Amino acid sequence: MDYRVEIEFLIHLKSPLHIGTGVGLTGILDKTTIRDKRERDGLVYIPGSSIKGRLRDHYEKLSMIFTYSITSSCYGQNNPCRKARIEDCCAICQIFGSPFHEGRFNFYDAEIDKDSLIPLSEDDIKMFQVDKRNANMISRSLRITRPKRFFTTEVCSPWLVFKGKINGTITLQNPKGVIPAEFALLMASIKFMDRLGGAKSRGIGVIETRIEEAKINGSLIQEKEISESIRNLQ
């Protein structure tokens, strides 16, 4: 049976966030954060690929715990399904993909939720959306700071809120319940997502997620039903 899944969620920053571009600004910044390239001074955003990677990690770990509740025939990226059709693969491969198949779900870039930042205008958000964080490189093995290894990182301001979206279709051979366990597991993964981006060991990238809307085959799923389905995983 096919299930069309649509999920919208908010990402609240609880600390500065850094998702790097891999380049810097000579003499100003060593590490810049990613922005919308369609504008000269675009708004920052969280790439869908970053969200997908974190969710996959949570989903794989949870699927190992609730292995009797979901249809799974692989162990994630280390041992993916090798079936000819993606529709016959396990939930992990259908949602996130594998070396043999493209995933059936779309993970969209999470953009700043301007509605949650009223009365700030877009110009105000652009002006205050990033900050600079100074730090010194350390040697973890020696537990000391490295001399003359000072650097500056551009980070997203911790008061920002981002809106993310996921949708796709999953085919289940033996679904259990009105809300399949595979769907409940994805919702739990979203709720458990508490870190994003780089420099997490330095206290950067702490987040809190809140599900705004979830639908299965066009029908709205209430928060109470989601929570109950997660509790019923066993």
pLDDT of 115 over the 80 cut: yes
Q: What is the reported pTM?
A: 0.85
With 0-12 CB in 10 A as exposed, 13-18 as middle and 19+ as buried, what is 111? middle
Q: For residue 142, what are the contacts with CB-CB under 8 A and spacing of at least 6?
A: none
Pairing mode of beta strands 161-171, 110-112? antiparallel
Domain ranges of the chain: 2-17+46-130+164-231
Q: Half-sphere exposure of 134 toward its Cβ, with a 13 Å CA cutoff?
A: 4
Greater confidence (148 vs 106) lies with: 106
pLDDT of 177 over the 60 cut: yes
The C-alpha atoms of residue 110 and residue 92 are separated, in whole angstroms, by 22
Q: For residue 77, what are the contacts with CB-CB under 8 A and spacing of at least 6?
A: 56, 60, 98, 99
pLDDT of 155 over the 60 cut: yes
Q: pLDDT at position 149, please? A: 61
Structure tokens at 52: 């997908």
Q: pLDDT at position 26, please? A: 44
Q: pLDDT grade, residue 129 (50/70/90)?
A: very high
Greater confidence (69 vs 57) lies with: 57
- Could you give phi then psi for residue 165, rounded to 5 degrees? -145, 140
Q: pLDDT at position 136, please? A: 63
Q: For residue 178, what are the contacts with CB-CB under 8 A and spacing of at least 6?
A: 225
The C-alpha atoms of residue 203 and residue 195 are separated, in whole angstroms, by 10
Task: Please tell me the least confidently modeled range out of 149-153, 169-173, 214-218.
Answer: 149-153
The C-alpha atoms of residue 82 and residue 158 are separated, in whole angstroms, by 43
Across residues 201-226, what is the average pLDDT?
88
Do the beta carbons of residue 34 and residue 213 sit within 8 Å?
A: no
